[in-house]
């Protein structure tokens, strides 16, 4: 039998490239003659640009051009066109690109940027959500009404800092609350933070004499770049070619288009010569988009036996200076606002707000890690008030087939998955029965916290994917797919699915690692844990397409009816007489008879997929179908807390997730663990701090801390498999999900350990100390 | 006295070979390796010594090549990830799923390789100390821990 | 990438180093002595340091000594922190050096470079302050020995053009009971909320700090309180914390109030661990 397929651990295809330094990323190739662009960035969070004097910069050695926002008065943005690629007239966040220097080398460009003098007139800074929403607040965008909407379901409030509101109205909350025995209400505040992909964003562009624009970029969305470049600069789509090699981590941060626009503008300024731009780490943190901040108020009401009857919630999203994905993120929060619980009466406002902070884009979990923190913390408070086991409360209220989601989508076992079994499996994994809080003596307490999550994708209904299959003379398969390899092993997953479907050895399935938008079929974006599903669906169709062609040709050659034929092991064979077969290699480039005649051409398979049956949400009630299906799971964190020092050690982090079908066991485990690790980062140390003037203070990895080796707990991962009927082999997406409930589980554990409610992040010892003692030493 | 006043031809010993590069006295080793020798395994993850993605081995010790001048490296033996030839740590990283996007991998491999050479039988805290010098944003680090322990156990 | 040019000089002798520095100064190149170089390189990239020449001290044999001379241990300024840690000759210094930055950085940062750092922590000076180190400085008039306190007040105070060749410590300190505690915001590798180094001798605790104030220091008044047998451990800790409170650093790593809390706790633990006096 052929090796591999699904359900067994497969080593990723590019493994050896990645352990030898052979894997090439965007900034790894530096052909001679490529110019370098460097950004001049804003030193104010909100200010009028009075003057940009770059006359001295132009005189510096090697400088070819300096461009400013005035040279390109265009607006960009995936949902609403509100962002000039270079600030024009005013700056709206600290670190915003205001000018671009193009020079012979990085050295020359870096030198020349110091000679660009920008004169600012400071404006009042919106440094928090409450400042943004105060009446009479200064406006980040004065003329929202003039902005072009790319997305149809945006409801901005011109004259305010509100960029979008999404409402969920289901049932009758007021009535329901009045019937509740127990009501809890709480407020939460979560900071903006950053993706910190290890590869900083980078892009290169050139324009050929016929006007074709070639872009190379570290991106999760090559086809998105093509679309946005052509729309912002009015270019013919066929004349924009985007290439993406290996990507050094994305986590959502590389789905936004930014440096690509700048690279194009820079190239245009030097008559189409190739120009490269790469963020320093400091720029990647401050100038490029980040993770949203959130202020939330939640109210949950339950009967005394612990049935949650009503939920009222307000999510205020700090989207920063520009919308980017902000409105989609607040929508995602609204769509799944209750967490994976059946609550019949829901009222939720998810408000996307402009501030003078760096602008937010998609980040692993797409808003779910943020609102889940609020829901799961509130659930623990409710359990406490009801004197109920927090795990039982969750089990009791968990969504089940037949229930309606907040946007009133009826759930099925297939579309939802099974939360109950995830909770059941989590229990022994974290030894829940021994108790939430155990005094160890010597000022130490061991405590556990849990959380549950669900997540659907808020993809566009018209999101498409595609696969093209060709063969080599020896019968091996070539796969051409448009997903990007940014870490989660997507390319190998596609190969694995095809190897299973065609029953062929995975080593004989060759996948393109790079993406080129001119050659590869469009794949929406490599985001939202949707790639296995979307590319998988396309792959299944493509495989069926080649099988049909192989069988039809083989039927002629083997002189038997096509329905008697099977495909496997790179052969087409007669089912009841397997010794009668023909090799792929004798079919895939046409079949040649003894006398030399040849028939049929090469076999080319195609498969495509469109998201399809999603729709826009109703403006007033939110009713509608935003995503195709959910992934659910249960998580736990165990800590050892020191009551004297307010410090703690991470002991365990656990996730049980409904994978639908585990395709590549060790890889799935690694993805979930990686997500948990990032979730612990959010929980324990990651955040942006701002000065009073809205300057980001943690601009390097010296001060912006992420998890490091040796600080991590023991990770435990287990799976439940409830097939997703319309997905290849039942598999659900799971690449992001490890992160979602971890900050909440951590805060629940530390709240239990410390005896105070910890409703903010990150939970550094000083924060716990401040909340516990009031901050007086 | 060794003196470089301006952009000059320098001789570096990289991966066992003597190589000629043209460098400014203020050039950092990371840029010289990447731009002149096309050894792009070492990555510019932060250029501030915080992330370890640019780690190479210099005279046996792990060094962040973003914080070493090219001039300083003259006369020393430099090993980059491209110089690892089937080192046990490479295979261990693959088998233990110790990387995903691969961007931090070269740096981690060099830190691990140097550790295995210098301390074939280190206590856990030494492993922690050495590998805390690098950042991986994809894995949970547990996989990297398993990989280095496999390599060390083979040395016993 | 450093966006400006400078000249690189690597003298082989103390004399060459002094001469070349003087020449470069005369040429108005604003030269800087260069140890591990990590701080100069990272600050130069950000435009926070500008120089026309660096004089790398790592090839000078006198700066690389690490040996016993009669009753003293000589520690060359060009040794890396990792050299100190690996050699395990002065445990307090090993521990202190082993908690500066991360391990790979310790393979590059030099002992002398850390002492001369412009970043406020300079933690390797703490053991020197406690062990009455003698520091040998290269001056235009030849090598000169100073008590550490003569040339290190808050920061290294050397006339321009002079540099540390080595430090020496009396052997009796090498085996004295010691304690080193570094407290950070949340992460092992980070700047300190506080670092305290202690040596115990003649039934007295000596202690020096980094991270509390914008410079490392040893305070005799604090030490007297720490050794005051008429006070309980918590009383000693509280009185020292109260003295410190008005001056404590308040930065991203932690507020002054929290530093006070951590200081108080840490002092009590130090007293308990060293069994008081």
Contact yes or no for A114 and C189 at CB 8 A: no
Check residue A3 and give its pLDDT.
63
The answer to whether the CB atoms of C189 and A703 lie below 8 A apart is no
Does the beta-carbon distance from C8 to B71 stay under 8 Å? yes
Cβ–Cβ below 8 Å for B5 and C4: no
Q: What is the pLDDT of residue A417?
A: 98
- The model's pLDDT over C200-229, given as tens digits with 9 standing for 90+, comes to 998 999 999 999 999 999 999 999 999 999
Separation of alpha carbons A176 and A180, rounded Å:
7
Could you read off the pLDDT of C2-45 as tens digits, one per residue? 999 999 999 999 999 999 999 999 999 999 999 999 999 999 99
Condensed to tens digits (0 to 9), the pLDDT of residues A657-691 reads 999 999 999 999 999 999 999 999 999 999 999 99
Residue reference for tokens 């049929």: A600
How far, in Å, CA of A208 to CA of A193, rounded? 39
Would residue B96 count as lying in a domain? yes
Token pair in block for residue C156: 């290294």
Distance from CA of C45 to the nearest CA of B (A): 8
Is there a contact between B1 and C107 if contact means CB atoms under 8 Å apart? no
> Do B56 and B96 belong together in one domain?
no
Residue C275: pLDDT band with limits 50, 70, 90: confident
Same-domain check for residues B100 and B145: yes
- B53 and B95 belong to one structural domain: no
Pairing of strands A714-720, A648-658: parallel
Return the structure tokens found at A610: 């469109």
Q: Are residues B14 and B70 in the same domain?
A: yes
Write down which residue in B54, B82, B110 finishes a domain: B82
Do B54 and B18 share a structural domain? yes
pLDDT at A504: 96
Do B55 and B63 touch, CB atoms closer than 8 A?
yes
The domains located in chain A, with CATH, are 15-22+463-610 (3.30.365.10), 33-125+198-249+254-286 (3.90.1170.50), 293-459+615-773 (3.30.365.10)
Mutation target to probe the C interface, by most C beta carbons within 10 A, among A39, A286, A766 is A766
Q: Do B50 and A27 touch (CB under 8 A)?
A: no
Q: Rounded to the nearest 5 degrees, what angle is found at the Cα of C128, between the Cα atoms of C125 and C129?
A: 85
Mean pLDDT calculated for residue range A620-636: 97
Q: Which residues contact A309 (CB under 8 A, 6 or more apart)?
A: A176, A177, A179, A180, A301, A302, A303, A343, A344, A345
**pLDDT for residue A256 is more than 80:** yes
Q: Which of B35, B50, B82 is the endpoint of a domain?
A: B82
Chain segment A170-206, per-residue pLDDT in tens = 999 999 999 999 999 999 999 999 999 999 999 999 9
Contact partners for chain C, using 3 or more CB pairs closer than 8 A, are A, B
CATH code, domain carrying B52: 3.10.20.30
Is B45 found in the same domain as B16? Answer: yes
pLDDT number for residue A31:
85
Give the mean model confidence (pLDDT) for residues C146-163. 97
DSSP per position, chain B: -EEE-SSEEEEEEETTEEEEEEE-TT-BHHHIIIIIS--TTS--S-SSSSS-TTEEEETTEEEEGGGSBTGGGTTSEEE-GGG--S-HHHHHHHHTT--SS-TTHHHHHHHHHHHHHH-SS--HHHHHHHHTTS--SSS-SHHHHHHHHHHHHHH-
Structure tokens at A49: 């640009």
> Based on the number of CB atoms within 10 Å of its own CB, is C153 exposed (0-12), middle (13-18) or buried (19 or more)?
exposed
Contact B132 A667 (CB under 8 A): no
Examine the domain organization and report whether B71 and B102 are in the same domain.
no
Q: How many whole angstroms separate alpha carbon A469 and alpha carbon A512?
A: 11
What are the pLDDT digits (tens) for A416-450? 999 999 999 999 999 999 999 999 999 999 999 99
Phi/psi region, residue A709 (left: phi>0; alpha: psi -120 to 50; beta: rest), is: beta
For the domain that residue B93 is a member of, what is the CATH number? 1.10.150.120
Is pTM, for the whole model, over 0.95? yes
Looking up tokens 């997406």, which residue turns up? A733
Domain boundary among B67, B82, B97: B82
**Does residue A1 register a pLDDT over 50?**
no
Chain A residues whose CB is inside 8 A of the C257 CB are 775-777
Identify which of A24, A250, A670 has the shortest CB distance to residue B40: A24
The answer to whether residues B15 and B75 belong to one domain is: yes
> What range defines the domain where residue B48 resides?
8-82
Q: Do residue B94 and residue B131 come from a single domain?
A: yes
Q: What is the DSSP string of A246-304?
A: B-S--TTTTSS--HHHHHHHHHHHTTT--EEEE--HHHHHHTS-BB-EEEEEEEEEE-T
Predicted confidence at residue A776, as pLDDT, reads 81
B2 is a domain residue: no
Q: How far apart are CA B129 and CA A392, in angstroms?
A: 41
Q: Would you call A682 helix, strand, or coil by DSSP?
A: helix
Using alpha carbons only, give the angle C169, C171, C175 rounded to the nearest 5 degrees. Answer: 110
For residue B146, tell me if it sits in a domain: yes
CA–CA separation, A443 vs C208, rounded Å? 27
Q: Residue A2 pLDDT more than 60?
A: no
Query: Structurally, how many domains does chain B consist of?
Result: 2
Which residue is closest to A107 within chain B, CA to CA?
B27
User: Is the pLDDT assigned to residue C277 strictly greater than 70?
Assistant: no
- Exposed (0-12), middle (13-18) or buried (19+): which is C203, by Cβ within 10 Å? exposed
* B1 lies in some domain: no
Shared domain check, B49 and B87: no
B88 and B139 fall within a common domain: yes
Token look-up 């498409």 returns: A464
What average pLDDT does range A62-86 have in this prediction? 97
Whether residues A281 and B136 touch (CB distance < 8 A) is answered with: no
Residues 686-715 (A) with a CB less than 8 A from some CB of C: 689, 697-698, 703, 705, 708, 710-711
Rounded distance between C-alpha atoms, residue C106 and residue C53, angstroms: 24
Q: Are B135 and A281 in contact (CB under 8 A)?
A: no
Neighbours of chain B (3+ CB pairs under 8 A): A, C
Residues in C closer than 8 angstroms to A697, CB to CB, are: 252
Is residue B148 one of the residues assigned to a domain? Answer: yes
pLDDT of A385-409, one tens digit each? 999 999 999 999 999 999 999 999 9
Mean local confidence (pLDDT), A699-727: 97
Q: Predicted confidence band at A632 (pLDDT cuts at 50, 70, 90)?
A: very high
Q: Find, among A550, A612, A611, the residue nearest to A581 by Cα.
A: A550
Q: Which domains are seen in chain C, by residue range?
A: 7-56 (3.30.43), 61-173 (3.30.465.10), 177-273 (3.30.390.50)
Tokens of A244: 């993406």
**pLDDT averaged over every residue in chain A:** 97
- Of chain C residues 222-241, which have a CB less than 8 A from chain A? 241
Q: Rounded to whole angstroms, how far apart are CA atoms C33 and A436? A: 57
H or E element: which one contains A728?
Answer: none
pLDDT in the model for residue B54: 98
For A717-761, how does the pLDDT look when each residue is reduced to its tens digit (9 = 90+)? Answer: 999 999 999 999 999 999 999 999 999 999 999 999 999 999 999
pLDDT digits (tens, 9 = 90+) for B88-139: 999 999 999 999 999 999 999 999 999 999 999 999 999 999 999 999 999 9
How much is the mean pLDDT over chain B? 97
Domain-located, residue B29: yes
B94 with B151, same domain: the answer is: yes
pLDDT digits (tens, 9 = 90+) for B16-28: 999 999 999 999 9
Contacts of C243 (CB under 8 A, 6+ apart): C221, C222, C225
Residue B3 lies in a domain: no
pLDDT of A777 > 90? The answer is no
Q: What is the pLDDT of residue C276?
A: 67
Instruction: Using CB atoms, pick whichever of B26, B67, B111 lies closest to residue C108.
Output: B67
- How many C-beta atoms lie closer than 10 Å to residue A470's C-beta? 16
Encoded tokens for A759: 């409703």
């Amino acid at each position: 039998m052929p090796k591999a397929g699904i359900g067994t651990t497969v080593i990723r295809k590019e493994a050896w490239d990645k352990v030898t330094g052979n894997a090439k990323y965007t900034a790894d190739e530096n052909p001679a003659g490529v110019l370098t662009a460097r950004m001049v960035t804003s030193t104010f969070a909100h200010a009028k640009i009075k003057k940009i004097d770059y006359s001295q910069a132009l005189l510096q050695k090697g400088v070819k051009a300096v461009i400013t926002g005035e040279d390109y008065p265009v607006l960009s943005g995936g949902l609403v066109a509100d962002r000039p690629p270079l600030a024009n007239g005013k700056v709206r966040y600290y670190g915003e690109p205001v000018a671009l220097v193009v020079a012979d080398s990085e050295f020359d460009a870096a030198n020349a940027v110091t000679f660009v003098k920008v004169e600012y007139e400071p404006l009042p800074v919106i440094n928090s959500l409450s400042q943004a929403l105060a009446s009479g607040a200064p406006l980040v965008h004065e003329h929202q009404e003039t902005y072009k909407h790319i997305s149809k379901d945006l409801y901005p409030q011109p004259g305010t800092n509100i960029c979008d509101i999404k409402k969920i109205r289901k049932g009758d909350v007021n009535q329901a609350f009045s019937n509740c025995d127990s009501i809890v209400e709480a407020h939460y505040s979560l900071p903006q933070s950053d993706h910190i992909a290890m590869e900083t964003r980078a892009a290169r562009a050139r324009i050929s004499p016929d006007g074709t624009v070639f872009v190379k970029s570290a991106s999760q969305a090559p086809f998105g770049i093509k679309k946005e470049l052509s729309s912002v600069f009015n270019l013919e789509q066929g004349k924009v070619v985007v290439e993406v090699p290996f990507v050094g981590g994305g986590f959502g941060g590389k789905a936004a288009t930014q440096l690509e626009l700048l690279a194009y503008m820079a190239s245009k300024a030097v008559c189409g010569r190739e120009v490269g731009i790469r963020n320093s780490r400091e720029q990647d943190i401050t100038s490029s988009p980040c993770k949203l901040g959130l202020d939330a108020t939640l109210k949950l009401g339950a009967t005394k036996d612990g049935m949650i009857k009503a939920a009222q919630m307000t999510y205020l999203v700090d989207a920063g200076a520009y919308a980017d994905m902000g409105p989609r993120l607040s929508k995602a929060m609204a769509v799944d606002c209750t967490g994976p619980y059946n609550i019949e009466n829901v009222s939720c406002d998810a408000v996307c707000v402009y501030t003078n902070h760096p602008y937010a884009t998609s980040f692993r979990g797409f808003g779910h890690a943020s609102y889940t923190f609020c829901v799961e913390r509130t659930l623990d408070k409710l359990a406490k008030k009801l004197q109920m086991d927090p795990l039982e409360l969750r089990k009791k209220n968990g969504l089940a087939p037949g229930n309606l989601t907040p946007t009133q989508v009826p759930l099925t076992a297939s579309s939802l998955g099974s939360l109950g079994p995830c909770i059941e499996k989590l229990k022994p994994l974290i030894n829940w029965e021994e108790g939430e809080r155990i005094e160890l003596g010597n000022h130490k307490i061991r405590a556990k916290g849990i959380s549950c999550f669900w997540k659907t994708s808020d993809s566009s209904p018209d999101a498409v994917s595609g696969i093209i299959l060709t063969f080599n003379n020896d019968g091996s398969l070539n796969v051409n797919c448009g997903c990007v390899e940014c870490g989660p092993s997507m390319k190998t997953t596609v190969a694995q699915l095809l190897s299973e479907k065609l029953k062929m050895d995975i080593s004989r399935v060759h996948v393109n690692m790079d993406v080129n938008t001119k050659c590869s079929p469009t794949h929406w974006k490599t985001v939202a844990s949707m790639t296995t599903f979307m590319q998988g669906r396309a792959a299944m169709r493509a495989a069926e397409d080649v099988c049909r062609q192989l069988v039809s040709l083989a039927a002629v050659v083997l002189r038997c009816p096509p329905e008697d034929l099977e495909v496997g092991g790179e052969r087409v064979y007669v089912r009841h007489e397997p010794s009668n077969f023909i090799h792929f290699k004798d079919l895939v480039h046409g079949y040649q008879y003894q006398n030399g005649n040849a028939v049929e051409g090469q076999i080319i398979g195609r498969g495509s997929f469109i998201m399809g049956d999603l729709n826009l949400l109703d403006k007033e009630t939110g009713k509608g179908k935003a995503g195709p299906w959910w992934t659910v799971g249960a998580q736990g964190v165990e800590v050892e807390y020191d009551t004297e020092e307010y410090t703690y050690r991470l002991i365990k982090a656990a996730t049980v997730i409904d994978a639908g079908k585990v395709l590549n066991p060790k890889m799935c485990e690694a993805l979930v663990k990686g997500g948990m690790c990032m979730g612990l980062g959010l929980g324990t140390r990651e955040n942006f701090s701002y000065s009073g003037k809205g300057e980001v203070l943690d601009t390097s990895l010296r001060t912006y801390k992420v998890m490091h080796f040796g600080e991590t707990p023991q990770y435990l991962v287990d799976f439940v498999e409830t097939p997703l009927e319309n997905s290849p082999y039942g598999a659900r997406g799971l690449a992001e999900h490890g992160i979602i409930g971890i900050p909440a589980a951590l805060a629940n554990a530390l709240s239990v350990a410390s005896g105070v409610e910890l409703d903010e992040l990150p939970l550094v010892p000083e924060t716990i100390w401040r909340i516990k003692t009031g901050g007086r030493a | 006295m060794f003196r470089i006043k301006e952009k000059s031809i320098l001789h570096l010993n990289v991966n066992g070979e003597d190589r000629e590069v043209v460098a400014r006295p203020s050039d950092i080793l990371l840029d010289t390796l990447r731009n002149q020798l096309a050894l792009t395994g070492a990555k510019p993850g932060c250029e501030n010594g915080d992330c370890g993605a640019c780690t190479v081995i210099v005279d046996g010790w792990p060094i962040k090549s973003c914080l070493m001048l090219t001039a300083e490296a003259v006369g020393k033996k430099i090993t980059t990830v491209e110089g690892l030839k089937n080192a046990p740590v490479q295979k261990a990283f693959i088998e233990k799923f110790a990387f995903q996007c691969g961007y931090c991998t070269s740096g981690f491999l060099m830190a691990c390789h140097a550790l295995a050479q210098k301390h074939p039988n280190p206590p856990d805290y030494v492993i922690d100390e050495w590998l805390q010098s690098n950042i991986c944003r994809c894995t949970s680090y547990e996989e990297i821990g398993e990989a280095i322990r496999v390599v060390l156990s083979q040395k016993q | 990438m450093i966006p400006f040019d400078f000249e690189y000089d690597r003298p082989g002798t103390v004399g060459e180093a002094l001469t070349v520095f003087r020449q470069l100064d005369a040429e108005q190149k604003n030269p800087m002595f260069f140890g591990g170089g990590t701080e100069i390189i990272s600050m130069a990239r950000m435009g926070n340091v500008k120089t026309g020449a660096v004089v790398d001290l790592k090839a000078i044999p006198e700066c690389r000594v690490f040996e016993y001379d009669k009753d003293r241990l000589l520690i060359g300024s060009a040794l890396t922190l990792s050299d100190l840690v690996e050699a395990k000759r002065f445990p307090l210094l090993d521990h202190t050096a082993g908690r500066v930055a991360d391990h790979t950085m310790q393979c590059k940062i030099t002992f002398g470079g850390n002492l001369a750092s412009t970043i406020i922590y300079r933690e390797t000076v703490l053991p020197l302050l406690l062990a009455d180190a003698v520091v040998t400085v290269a001056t235009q008039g030849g090598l000169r020995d100073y008590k550490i306190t003569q040339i290190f007040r808050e920061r290294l105070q050397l006339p321009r053009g002079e540099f540390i060749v080595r430090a020496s410590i009396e052997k009796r300190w090498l085996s004295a009971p010691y304690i080193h505690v570094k407290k950070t915001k949340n992460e092992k590798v980070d700047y300190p909320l506080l670092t305290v180094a202690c040596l115990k001798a003649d039934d007295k605790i000596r202690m020096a700090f980094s991270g509390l104030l914008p410079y490392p220091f040893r305070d005799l008044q604090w030490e007297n309180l720490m050794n005051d047998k008429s006070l309980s451990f918590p009383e000693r800790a509280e009185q020292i914390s109260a003295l410190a409170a008005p001056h404590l650093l308040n930065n991203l790593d932690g507020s002054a109030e929290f530093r006070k809390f951590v200081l108080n706790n840490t002092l009590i633990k130090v007293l308990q661990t060293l069994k008081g006096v």
